């Protein structure tokens, strides 16, 4: 009796035995595996070629990017190195200038101390008398030394502190005195708006915090404020002009310890005025600054007036010795009237010839005043 596989082989299959059928199936499997292996080899080769191309492209891009960055960093490094060398040279030059200025100042201080010691020491039998060694107060020699002493004082940083802590508070008017001054002068309101507003720098903050700098806008606001008849605001308008600096300039005018010394013939001129009026806060106030120029009288001459055809009178030069920035704060509601010298800028040291000319001019004026008296 035949089994089922044998019946299938005998009836339908071209294979005579089961082993032949299995053998042929294995061949088919081997062929499929071979074809699959070939496909995998081709795919692997393609993938390898693609990866190699991508790697080469990426490597080239990375090398190019590194080269660009390296070139850029080298350029930046060279720039920084050049800037560093320039800054180093400037710093060395500043240090040399600073050391030279320090040596010069030290030498001046030493010379001044020597002069003070010589003038204060008792005369010996072999020396001249004190009257002969010390210049009299009306001689050019006295004023030469006084001018040189003032130049050194203006270069001393402690001088500003002394002015702000001692000189100004001792002579500045109080806030009630300033309030009374402006209450008694209502005409200063129109003076501020018609004269000063167009020739000085003004900044006004309204009650709502709006900032006004244009003349037309400030005038319009002042007109609307006057209609409300606010006396405190009106007082600030009266004070917002050059008069706010008058008292502090007077307090700085002292022969012994002041910034402006009349005995040396010094004069002052105020310029670059900026005034801020703040109505936006509960304490309306004025904050103002000005630049004070300190000058000595110079030579008289007629050249300028003859060339310009102004007249036959003489004209006097002015020799600047320093400039000072002065600030004022005026707040009536807080009873505050404050003033400070914010900064002093000494002019370059005057030549001996110029100082001598100034001293002779001041001495001549002093002798004339004495003889007239």
Say yes or no to pLDDT of 254 above 80.
yes
At 14, the pLDDT band (50, 70, 90 cuts) reads low
pLDDT on residue 96: 57
At 220, the pLDDT band (50, 70, 90 cuts) reads very high
Say yes or no to pLDDT of 122 above 50.
no
Average pLDDT over residues 6-10: 49
Q: Do residues 259 and 309 lie in contact, with contact meaning Cβ atoms separated by under 8 Å?
A: no
pLDDT on residue 246: 92
Question: Which DSSP category does 260 fall into?
Answer: B
In Å, what is the CA distance from 15 to each residue of 1, 18, 28, 142?
20, 7, 15, 144
Highest mean pLDDT among 43-47, 162-166, 227-231: 162-166
Say yes or no to pLDDT of 125 above 50.
no
At 245, the pLDDT band (50, 70, 90 cuts) reads very high
What is the distance between the alpha carbons of residues 362 and 373, in angstroms, rounded to a whole number?
A: 16
Listed range (1-5, 54-58, 168-172) with the worst mean pLDDT: 1-5
The domain limits of the chain are 141-372
At 82, the pLDDT band (50, 70, 90 cuts) reads confident
pLDDT on residue 78: 80
Listed range (234-248, 287-301, 356-370) with the worst mean pLDDT: 356-370
pLDDT on residue 249: 93
pLDDT tens by residue, 319-338: 888 999 999 999 999 999 99
State the pTM of this model.
0.58
Highest mean pLDDT among 118-122, 139-143, 345-349: 345-349
Listed range (97-106, 148-157, 198-207) with the worst mean pLDDT: 97-106
- State the sign of the Cα–Cα–Cα–Cα dihedral 306, 310, 315, 318: negative
- Rg (C-alpha) for the chain, rounded Å, is 47
More confident residue, 130 or 268: 268
pLDDT on residue 137: 62
Averaged confidence pLDDT in the chain: 79
Average pLDDT over residues 18-42: 82
Tell me the two tokens of residue 367.
Answer: 């002798």
List all residues 6 or more positions away from 17 whose beta carbon is below 8 Å from its beta carbon.
9
Say yes or no to pLDDT of 311 above 50.
no
pLDDT on residue 331: 95
pLDDT on residue 300: 47
More confident residue, 287 or 356: 287
pLDDT on residue 301: 46
Question: For the chain, what percent of residues have pLDDT higher than 70?
Answer: 72
CA angle 136, 142, 148 (to 5 degrees): 160
Report the phi/psi class of residue 335: left, alpha or beta, with left for phi > 0 and alpha for psi in -120 to 50.
left
At 287, the pLDDT band (50, 70, 90 cuts) reads very high
pLDDT on residue 237: 95
Q: Do residues 312 and 292 lie in contact, with contact meaning Cβ atoms separated by under 8 Å?
A: no
Average pLDDT over residues 259-284: 90
Listed range (82-91, 97-106, 181-190, 192-201) with the worst mean pLDDT: 97-106
Rounded (10°) CA dihedral 198, 202, 206, 210:
100
Say yes or no to pLDDT of 8 above 80.
no
Residue 281's SS3 state is coil
pLDDT tens by residue, 147-180: 899 889 999 989 999 999 999 999 999 999 999 9
Helix (H) or strand (E) holding 336: strand 336-346
pLDDT on residue 317: 60
């Amino acid at each position: 009796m035949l089994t089922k596989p044998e019946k299938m082989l005998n009836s339908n299959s071209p294979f005579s035995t089961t082993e032949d059928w299995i053998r042929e199936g294995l061949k088919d499997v081997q062929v499929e595996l071979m074809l699959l292996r070939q496909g995998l080899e081709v795919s692997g080769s393609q993938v390898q070629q693609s990866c190699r191309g991508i790697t080469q492209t990426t490597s080239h891009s990375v090398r190019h990017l590194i080269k660009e960055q390296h070139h850029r960093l080298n350029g930046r490094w060279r720039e920084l190195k050049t800037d560093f060398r320039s800054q180093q040279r400037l710093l060395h030059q500043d240090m040399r200038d600073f050391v030279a200025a320090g040596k010069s100042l030290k030498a001046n201080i030493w010379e001044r101390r020597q002069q003070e010691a010589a003038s204060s020491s008792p005369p010996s039998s072999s020396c001249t008398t004190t009257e002969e060694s010390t210049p009299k107060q009306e001689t050019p020699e006295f004023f030469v030394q006084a001018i040189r002493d003032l130049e050194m004082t203006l270069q001393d940083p402690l001088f500003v502190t002394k002015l702000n802590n001692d000189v100004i508070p001792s002579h500045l008017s109080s806030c009630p005195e300033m309030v009374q001054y402006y209450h008694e002068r209502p005409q200063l309101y129109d003076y501020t708006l018609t004269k000063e507003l167009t020739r000085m720098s003004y900044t006004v903050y309204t009650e709502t915090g709006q900032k006004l700098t244009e003349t037309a806008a400030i005038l319009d606001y002042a007109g609307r404020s006057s209609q409300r008849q606010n006396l405190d605001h009106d007082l600030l308008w009266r004070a917002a002009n050059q008069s706010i600096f008058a008292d502090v300039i007077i307090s700085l005018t002292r022969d012994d310890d002041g910034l402006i010394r009349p005995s040396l013939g010094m004069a002052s001129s105020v310029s670059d005025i900026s005034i801020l009026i703040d109505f936006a806060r509960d304490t309306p106030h004025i904050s103002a600054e000005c630049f004070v120029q300190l000058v000595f009288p110079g030579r008289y001459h007629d050249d300028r007036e003859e060339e310009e055809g102004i007249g036959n009178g003489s004209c006097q030069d002015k020799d600047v010795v320093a400039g000072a920035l002065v600030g004022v704060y005026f707040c009536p509601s807080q009873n505050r009237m404050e003033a400070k010298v914010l900064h002093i800028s000494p002019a370059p040291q005057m030549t001996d010839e110029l100082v001598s000319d100034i001293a002779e001019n001041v001495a001549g004026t002093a002798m004339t005043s004495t003889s007239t008296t």
